[in-house]
Amino acid sequence: MRKLSLFILSVLSLSSALAQTPDLPVNRIVVIGEAELELPADQVRVTVSLQYSDPTDARKAYAAHQNAEKQLVKLLKDYQIDEKDIRYTLLNVQKNDNGIYQPGERKQEIITMQQVIFELKKPERYPDLQLALISAGFNRFQASYRSTKQEERKNSVLEKAVEVAREKAAVMAKAAGRTLGAVLSVRDTEETDPVLQRRFGAEMDVMAARVGYGSNLLDIPQTIRIPAQVKVTFELK
């Protein structure tokens, strides 16, 4: 009876140890999937940098900044920019060292800095907007093409990248005389980070269609490229 009890205890201990043992590696294939979507550029994102200064008085620098804000708001209203399409950073006021002018003497100034970002939904109005900004004293600004469908299509390009990876894996498995199994994981290009990675640059590339346009560059249709890259691990049977 004692021997039987010891045998049962040994079996239970072995079963417990096996249950705690990590799964053994299975046959697998790891494939990189890349995809890209092109969307028509139908708006322009403009970033205006506000920066004003005074040698010693922060209030004067701030007053100049406030006056510029009012001018910019009026200009945006004139161009019918919706409030929901306007964003801005917090106002930053700081004292800067402007360099050494005499031995041991430093010149300092108070500087205000802020950025205002807005969407212009009529790209054809951008040339006029540039002139209006410069005429109003806003000389620090930059712009890039955007698409109103960018956000809603980001998932589509990820799905396409995974499908590309599946097609590549199927070809490789067939060439090796194997059968492609289930997806084991979807990762970004860093194998240690098991998450989907969306590669959307801050500055989107643009591509011009070179046929059927007039004498103005703005007549050339532009597209926004949205790329994505994923690493997919499949089971091999």
Give CA separation, 25 vs 21, 28, 104, 197, 235, in Å: 12, 8, 69, 25, 10
Q: CATH 1.10.10.10: does it fit domain 43-146?
A: no
Q: Which CATH superfamily is domain 24-40+150-236 in?
A: Protein of unknown function (DUF541), domain 1 (3.30.110.170)
pLDDT of amino acid 216: 62
Of 26-30, 50-54, 94-98, 165-169, minimum mean pLDDT range: 94-98
Question: What secondary structure letter does DSSP report for 23?
Answer: P
CA 215 to chain centre: 33
Task: Give the mean pLDDT of 19-48.
Answer: 79
pTM: 0.60
pLDDT of residue 120: 94
**Band of residue 107 on the pLDDT scale cut at 50, 70, 90:** low
**Mean pLDDT, residues 96-111 taken together:** 67
For residue 102, name the pLDDT band (cuts at 50, 70, 90): low
Interatomic CA distance for residues 111 and 49, integer angstroms: 13
Task: Tell me the domain boundaries of the chain.
Answer: 24-40+150-236, 43-146
Q: Given a cut of 70, is residue 71 above it in pLDDT?
A: yes
Q: How far apart are CA 132 and CA 141, in angstroms?
A: 12
Mean pLDDT of the chain: 79
Phi then psi dihedrals of residue 180, to 5 deg:
-75, 135
Cα–Cα distance for residue pair 13/211, rounded to 1 Å: 76
Question: What is the Cα Rg of the chain in Å?
Answer: 30
